[in-house]
Amino acid sequence: MGKNLKGVFFGSIGTIAETSEIQRRSYNLAFKKFGIDCYWNVANYCNMLSTPGGKERIKDHTVQDLSSKDIETIHSYKEDYFSQLIEEEDIIRGQFLEVFHHCKASEIKLGLVTTTSKTNIDSLSKIFNAKVNFSDFDIITTNTDCNNPKPDPEVYKKALTSVGLKPEETLAIEDTQVNFHAPNAAKIKTILFPGEYSNYDQTIKPTFDLMNEIFQL
């Protein structure tokens, strides 16, 4: 790894776990429980990933005229289902484990720089517990740590300040094109490591071999 690399930020839960299908199923179960006629198929959901944030997706991609309270309720149902479903699946991305353990051994700071909920982080922490202790991250952010969602760089700037790193010392890994622009705007070198449902165009070259990419820095 490059001598100047002092920190690696995983930019969303999708960079460490393959959660898209579980998220999609959780939304559909939440819609059914709430009593609205809405179903997101795989093609729909892939397109929706360009909209960051679960509540924003519910607002923008349901046909009903939902109040803010309705959206909050549906999102809460969705997170409950998500917490249940991830316990049934093997979702950990193997390349994440390889990079994580190598960085720890190399004393490179590690961050999970998300704008997801603490509930989701806690659920994932339980799943990862046998392989990764989330307390080994030098920083974990959630949606309470910023006012502006990605692709705004706010959460990345706060993460840099929190762990005492400069942008040029740091690498960010994101799984969607829209989120890719957040660390980029914070002047952090960024790798697009797409998940199974991620959409991206030819303006960004994706990486499917994280360790090889990092060693070339």
Q: Which of 88, 117, 144 is the last residue of a domain?
A: 88
Q: Which of 88, 122, 141 is the last residue of a domain?
A: 88
> What CATH number should be reported for the domain holding residue 136?
3.40.50.1000
Which tens digit of pLDDT belongs to each residue from 157-206? 999 999 999 999 999 999 988 899 999 999 999 999 998 888 777 788 88
Is 1 a residue whose pLDDT tops 60? no
Residue 190's nearest CA partner among 201, 200, 205, 202 is 205
**Do the domain assignments include residue 2?**
no
Looking at the structure of the chain, the number of domains it has is 2
Is 10 a residue whose pLDDT tops 80? yes
**Do the domain assignments include residue 165?**
yes
**Do the domain assignments include residue 59?**
yes
Which tens digit of pLDDT belongs to each residue from 92-137? 998 999 999 999 999 999 999 999 999 999 999 998 988 899 999 9
The total of other beta-carbon atoms located within 10 Å of residue 129's CB is 10
For 59-111, the three-class secondary structure string (H helix, E strand, C coil) is HHCCCCCCCHHHHHHHHHHHHHHHHHHHHHCCCECHHHHHHHHHHHHCCCEEE
**Do the domain assignments include residue 114?**
yes
Q: Which helix (H) or strand (E) holds 212?
A: helix 210-215
The parent domain of residue 28 ranges over: 20-88
Residues above pLDDT 90, as percent of the chain: 66
173, two tokens:
């890994």
Whole-angstrom Cα distance, residue 131 to residue 101?
A: 10
**Do the domain assignments include residue 1?**
no
> What CATH number should be reported for the domain holding residue 45?
1.10.150.240
- 54 plus 128 within the same structural domain: no
Q: Which of 31, 66, 88 is the last residue of a domain?
A: 88
- 62 plus 110 within the same structural domain: no
- 109 plus 208 within the same structural domain: yes
Residue 75's nearest CA partner among 94, 95, 51, 57 is 57
pTM of the model: 0.84
